[in-house]
Amino acid sequence: MKAHTRETQATMTPQKSLEYLKEGNKRFQKNLKANRNLLEQVNDTSDGQFPFATILSCIDSRVSAELVFDQGLGDIFSVRIAGNFVNEDILGSMEFACKLAGTKLIVVLGHTSCGAIKGACDDAKMGNLTKLIEKITPAVKAVSDPNDTSLRNSKNLEFVDNVSKKNVELTIERIMKESDVLAEMQNNGEIMIVGAMYDIHSGLVSFYE
């Protein structure tokens, strides 16, 4: 499989880009890989890059976007931060990726049993991590557990995963609210912004479309 060129990137639509990622994740789950020569892709991309998607994911070592979607060099922009939330710098990076570099899809990718989410559920305090955790706290507060409020912590993995999903949803809301550039592109059909969750047990990525 060759690296994307300006011509192949131009053929990508938001929906087609999404299908590419879904197909890649299916290959990953079956332990199959597209036939690609990475060293050849190094050469192919030395004069420019033409990715089709931008993926915001957690720093978790088990959730490498290139691997779980079976993508090669030059295929995706990968933005990684604990808890996969956005700030001004990440929004600027996404605006560059979509408006200037031509990606057609933004995926906000959370994952199950997320350590950053667990920290937010437990209101963890430690150095600079404290400020990071505060960015995720709104998702914790937005998830209600009518059955047992005493289990609103990291010991309740179902609660943790529900917070992870809510965090993805709130992150997308922030993208639309805080980036006029990306909101306009989405409203015009130039890009699509979707959420997804990676299951660390099965390797499955479930999309929220």
Distance CA 140, CA 127 (A): 20
**Other CB atoms within 10 A of residue 75 CB:** 28
Tell me, what's the pLDDT at 107? 98
Tell me, what's the pLDDT at 189? 97
Tell me, what's the pLDDT at 37? 87
Q: Which residues of the chain have pLDDT under 50?
A: none
- Specify the CATH number of the domain 6-208: 3.40.1050.10
Tell me, what's the pLDDT at 145? 62
Encoded tokens for 50: 């033409």
Q: What is the pTM of this model?
A: 0.94
pLDDT tens, 135-151?
999 999 999 866 655 68
